[in-house]
């Protein structure tokens, strides 16, 4: 029995969690309950949790090893914490403002991402989440069975190759240092329909930032199918709009949700600290 209060959203996608003090640390029962809530609700958020860097790292390790976070310079002395920062006078689109599942181009992409709000603008700066479970479950069963035979091609090239770095304006970022690299041209195959390793639920697992093709399918056919799947997955009925407050910690499941950072706060600073939890190869 723990002191956790879990308030799920009406459709179960997303839940607010109260009754814990993350800075004080968690016991095994609390970690188990939080883990179950994260898998069940896909996006969980805990308001009013001021945390130092080492406390954020300790919270992250309650759920597994740190993930491998490339292409962005980490906080000095804390290689596992990225600062997602946009200055008040920044003109470039917010970091993460295309729909994606974090680092899906890796062979073992992170299971979780944890984002801790440090400076929140008075308006804008929401994060949108898309529910890959319900998007899969809403597909026509015959079409879904066909999709289950397909493998997709993922790559970091659009944002993180040298070419992508310039095209996306990352060379003009003020708040963050992006580190483009030729490795971004590498490709990784993943199943188009992914089975969640812990719950066994199936997810429509494609995203427009990193999914660049479909294995063994002609380019124009693959791009047409991907466009159709993105349109399906990003329908309003599958989206949750998350509003932030300072010191809120949010943790999402990259295996069952996509996310997308929003702008709308020009003239104000926004600062978040981000860690990831290592995952397994999608299957």
Q: How far is the CB of 221 from ligand SIN (least distance, A)?
A: 30
Q: Would you list the DSSP string of 36-98?
A: HHHHHHSEEEESS----HHHHHHHHHTTSSB----SBPEETTEEEEEEEEE-TT--SPPTT-S
Q: Which of 154, 190, 255, 274 is catalytic?
A: 274
Instruction: Find the largest Cα–Cα distance for the chain.
Output: 55
Distances (CA, A) of 242 to 130, 136, 152, 225, 254: 11, 22, 29, 29, 16
Q: Considering only residues 205-264, where is the footprint of ligand SIN by CB under 6 A?
A: 259, 261
Query: Could you count the other beta carbons within 10 Å of the beta carbon of residue 62?
Result: 16
Q: Quick one: which of 119, 113, 199, 205 has its CA closest to 154?
A: 205
The answer to whether 274 is a known catalytic residue is: yes
Closer of 86 and 157 to ligand SIN (Cβ): 86
Out of 130, 272, 276, 282, name the contact with ligand SIN by CB under 6 A.
Answer: 272
Does 159 bind ligand SIN (CB under 6 A)? Our answer is no
Q: Considering only residues 65-104, where is the footprint of ligand SIN by CB under 6 A?
A: 84, 95-96
Q: Which of 86, 134, 154, 259 is catalytic?
A: 259
Closer of 152 and 254 to ligand SIN (Cβ): 254
Residue 11 C-alpha from the chain's centroid:
20
- CA 102/CA 98 separation, integer angstroms: 11
SS3 content of the chain, % helix, strand, coil (to 5): 25, 30, 45
Q: How far is the CB of 198 from ligand SIN (least distance, A)?
A: 22
Q: Which of 41, 86, 100, 196 is catalytic?
A: 100
The answer to whether 102 is a known catalytic residue is: yes
Q: How far is the CB of 176 from ligand SIN (least distance, A)?
A: 10
Q: Which of 102, 134, 201, 253 is catalytic?
A: 102
> How many chain residues interact with ligand SIN (CB under 6 A)?
10
Q: Quick one: which of 178, 165, 258 has its CA closest to 211?
A: 258
Out of 101, 127, 188, 276, name the contact with ligand SIN by CB under 6 A.
Answer: 127
Q: How far is the CB of 91 from ligand SIN (least distance, A)?
A: 17
The residues annotated with a catalytic role in the active site are 100, 102, 259, 274
């Amino acid at each position: 029995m723990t002191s956790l209060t879990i308030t799920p959203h009406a459709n179960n996608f997303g839940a607010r969690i109260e009754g814990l003090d993350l800075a004080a640390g968690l016991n095994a029962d609390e970690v188990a309950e939080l883990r179950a809530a994260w898998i069940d609700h896909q996006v969980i958020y805990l308001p009013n949790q001021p945390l130092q860097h080492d406390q954020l790292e300790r919270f992250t390790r309650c759920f597994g090893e740190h993930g491998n976070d490339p292409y962005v310079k980490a906080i000095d002395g804390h290689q596992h914490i990225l600062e997602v920062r946009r200055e008040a006078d920044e003109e470039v689109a917010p970091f993460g403002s295309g729909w994606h599942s974090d680092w899906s181009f890796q062979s073992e992409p992170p299971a979780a991402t944890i984002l801790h709000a440090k400076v929140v603008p008075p308006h804008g700066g929401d994060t949108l989440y898309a529910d890959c479970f319900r998007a899969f479950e809403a597909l026509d069963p015959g079409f879904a069975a066909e999709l289950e035979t397909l493998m997709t091609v993922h790559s970091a090239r659009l944002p993180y190759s040298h070419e992508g770095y310039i095209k996306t304006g990352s060379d003009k970022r003020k708040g963050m240092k992006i580190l483009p690299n030729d490795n971004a041209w590498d490709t990784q195959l993943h199943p188009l329909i992914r089975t969640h390793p812990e719950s066994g639920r199936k997810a429509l697992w494609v995203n427009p930032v990193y999914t660049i093709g479909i294995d063994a399918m002609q380019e124009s056919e693959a791009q047409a199918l991907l466009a159709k799947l993105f349109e399906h997955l990003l329908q309003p009925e599958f989206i949750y709009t998350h509003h932030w407050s300072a010191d809120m910690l949010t943790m999402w499941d990259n295996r069952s949700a996509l996310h997308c950072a929003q702008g709308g706060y020009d003239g104000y600073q926004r600062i978040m600290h981000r860690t990831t939890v290592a995952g397994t190869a999608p299957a």
